Amino acid sequence: NAGVTQTPKFRILKIGQSMTLQCTQDMNHNYMYWYRQDPGMGLKLIYYSVGAGITDKGEVPNGYNVSRSTTEDFPLRLELAAPSQTSVYFCASSTEGGVFFGQGTRLTVV
């Protein structure tokens, strides 16, 4: 049972580059989330989705975009990477039984 799978695990980007963080879950969960976590801090919600075709902004959406074309996949796109986006990114999915996290992507923008 794979759960929530994120790729890549690590990435270094140059300022202005773009990239997509991939997230897929095999639990048929409707709810999916993207969080970022800065060093020593808690989680901040970037975007979330309550089902295929439906996405909404969280508390820190600027500089990011998402799509949810299928129940399984919820990619996060950075269009013009900035140093302020250096962080660890977590994808999660949830059901009433709990929240399941991916292992995270450590992104550094230089």
Per CB under 8 A, residues contacting another protein are 31, 33, 35, 40-43, 45, 48, 50, 54, 56, 58, 90, 94, 96-99, 101-104
- Residue 83 CB, shortest distance to another protein, in Å, is 22
What span, in angstroms and rounded, lies between the C-alpha atoms of 99 and 79? 28
Q: Which residues of 65-89 are buried (b: 16+ CB within 10 A; e: fewer)?
A: ebbbeebbebbbebeebeeebbbbb
Q: Provide the minimum distance between the beta carbon of 16 and another protein in the complex, in angstroms, as a whole number.
A: 29
Output the smallest distance, CB 48 to another protein, in A.
4
Question: Which is closer to another protein, CB of 3 or CB of 16?
Answer: 3
* Cβ distance to another protein smaller for residue 9 or 77: 9
Min dist. Cβ of residue 89 to another protein (A): 11
Residue ranges with strand state E in 26-75: 31-37, 43-51, 54-57, 64-66
Q: How far apart are CA 1 and CA 3, in angstroms?
A: 6
Q: Which residue has the tokens 């990011």?
A: 64
Minimum CB distance to another protein smaller for 6 or for 85: 6
